[in-house]
Amino acid sequence: MRVLVISRGPAGSRRSAPGIRARAMARVLAEQLPGIEVTLAVPDHPDLPDGPYFTERAVGARLSDLARRQDVVISMGLPLVALPAALSSHFVLDYFANFYVEWMLGTGRAPAGLRRRARRDGDRWYLNLQLTLADYILCATESQRDAYLGALAGLGLIYPDSFRRDHSLRALIDVAPHGVRFEPSPTRDRSWLQQRIPGLSDDEPVLLWNSGIVEWYDPRTAIRATGLLRAEGIPAHLVFVGGPYPGGDNTGAREHRAAARYADELGLLDTAVHFLDGWLPYREVPQVLAGADLAVCTWRRTLEARYALRTRYLDLLWARVPLIATAGDPFGDLMASRGALAPVPEDDATAVARACAALLADRERRAAVTTAMATLADELRWERTLAPLVRHLSAGARPTAMPKHLRLPGMAARLTGTLAWRAVDAVGRWQG
């Protein structure tokens, strides 16, 4: 069996969730199913692969040709150029986020009017097209699964024979969360951070914001909390690790600049609040985590939170960095219930500062939190989180979705809608 894993984001030294997940998936499949041939297709020039699989840089016609020669294609949505592969291969759709909600929030970056509608409706038609193409679907949480089951039902894609064979529909759509890193956790070492933050001493607490910033995050609350800690005599430093997301579309750039301006307005920029340049290389992230005392993640209560699995939490679990985070997302609530996260209310800098101060002052409590994090991290190894996909392929990748010939009218209609709205958006960009 030939299996192609397509990374929809950079998978080299600077990579975010899509590239991290694609590489982990290729490694686990190659190790768990030695009888199959696994290829990872990436859009950039990757460094050496982490496992016994082939890696190819494949975009455009090269990706289309590579996908057509596979038995199974796995992707966070097939690029339009590779759509013919969905007709000849078994297509596994890896929808590890609720893209309906995330992309709706992201349309705010588009100009108002027809351009914004074109972006919104183009995304909607594209997402529905991917669900129509899929022979098997993965998501990251049970709440995501519920949302996608509703979408499949609304699109008429839940086939009665599939339901009769499997009343749970797990053979059609199942949960495969993001996992923790494969390598051992880092030991505490502040030297990397001290090289980049002049004057940072060993006894000054470091709070880590260990990713980029997008529309639904709330960096201002974390920044205000740092100022409050300073006012109380706790010389805390808040370090933002990620700049704009890698991939070339400048995602997060506006929010990153706004957060830096806000820190400057409060007189905290470069003294108490620090922004590392660019997107940190994946292999350097452990060095940052090794120097952090705590991590902070504050976000706004939007529909996104109902379905989120915040991948930034996984590195914190792996490195045993205690986390203070806004309460209310499924994975954060799971961590809190296991004693691996300190929850705080939304938009409450005072609560964040108090939670940080309490953990910094109580070594025994921090030790209990890190023990809880280690236990949960062991449960979230990639080998375990990707078990549904391994089972599906080891059983021969037998589809339980509606037969493809019955999906063809829906495929055609949703492809037409996708192309039409993308054309409208392209014309709008060309006109300026």
Q: Are residues 285 and 262 in the same domain?
A: yes
**What's the structural domain count of the chain?**
2
Predicted pLDDT at 108: 65
| Predicted TM-score (pTM) above 0.85 | yes
Cα gap 207→321, rounded to integer Å:
10
Q: How many CB atoms lie within 10 A of CB 79?
A: 18
Same domain as 129, residue 98? yes
**Does residue 52 belong to any structural domain of this protein?**
yes
User: Does 253 share its domain with 334?
Assistant: yes
Domain for residue 184, yes or no?
no
Instruction: State the maximum Cα–Cα separation within the chain, in Å, rounded to a whole number.
Output: 68
Same domain for 175 and 29, yes or no, is yes
* Residue 172 lies inside a defined structural domain of this protein: yes
H/E run at residue 428 = helix 404-431
Residues 149 and 210 in one domain: no
Separation CA 64–CA 411 (nearest Å): 18
**Same domain for 172 and 271?**
no
Q: Please tell me whether residues 325 and 404 are part of one structural domain.
A: no
What is the C-alpha to C-alpha distance for residues 237 and 367, in angstroms, rounded to an integer?
21
Q: Which of 360, 380, 400 corresponds to the end of one domain? A: 380
User: Residue 80 has what DSSP assignment?
Assistant: G
Residues 179, 382 contacting (CB under 8 angstroms): yes
DSSP 316-334: HHHHT--EEEES-SHHHHH
DSSP annotation of 292: -
Could you tell me which residues come within 8 angstroms of residue 427 by beta carbon, excluding any fewer than 6 positions away? none
For residues 56 and 118, state if they share a domain.
yes
Contact present, 18 and 33 (Cβ < 8 Å): no
Q: Low-confidence residues of the chain, pLDDT below 50?
A: none
CA dist 115 to 103, 270, 413, 418, Å? 14, 38, 21, 14
Helices 114-133 and 99-106: angle between axes, nearest 10 degrees: 160
What does the alpha-carbon distance between residue 88 and residue 21 come to, in Å, rounded to a whole number? 25
Tell which of 357, 380, 403 closes a domain.
380
User: Does residue 195 lie in a domain region?
Assistant: yes
The pair of structure tokens assigned to 74 is: 């796995």
Residues in Cβ contact with 281 at an 8 Å cutoff, skipping those fewer than 6 apart: 13, 14
**Distances 408 to 79, 86, 355, 416 between C-alpha atoms, Å:** 18, 11, 54, 12
- 19 and 80 both lie in a single domain: yes
Which residues, 6 or more positions from 191, have their beta carbon under 8 angstroms from its beta carbon?
Answer: 291
Do 221 and 298 form a contact (C-beta atoms < 8 A)? yes
Final residue belonging to a domain, choices 346, 362, 380 = 380
* pLDDT at res. 248: 59
What's the CA gap between 268 and 325, in Å, rounded? 21
Together in a domain, 160 and 249: no
pLDDT at 103: 76
In this structure, the answer to whether residues 167 and 209 fall within a common structural domain is: no
Examine residue 186 and state whether it is found in any structural domain, yes or no: no
Nearest to 401 by CA among 91, 84, 159: 159
- At 346 the pLDDT is 95
Do residues 363 and 411 share a domain? no
In a domain, 185, yes or no: no
Using H for helix, E for strand and C for coil, what is the string for 2-16? EEEEECCCCCCCCCC
d(CA 109, CA 423): 18
Residue 327 to residue 320: CA distance in whole angstroms: 19
> Could you tell me the residue range of the domain that residue 248 belongs to?
191-380
Tens digits of residue pLDDT in 99-136: 888 877 776 666 677 778 888 888 899 999 999 999 99
Place of tokens 């430093």: 237
Burial of 184 (0-12, 13-18, 19+ CB in 10 A): exposed
CA-only gyration radius of the chain, Å: 22
The answer to the question of residue 356 being in a domain is yes
Q: At what angle do helices 330-337 and 363-379 cross, to 10 degrees?
A: 120
CB-CB contact of 148 with 95 (8 Å): yes
CATH number of the domain at 270, please. Answer: 3.40.50.2000
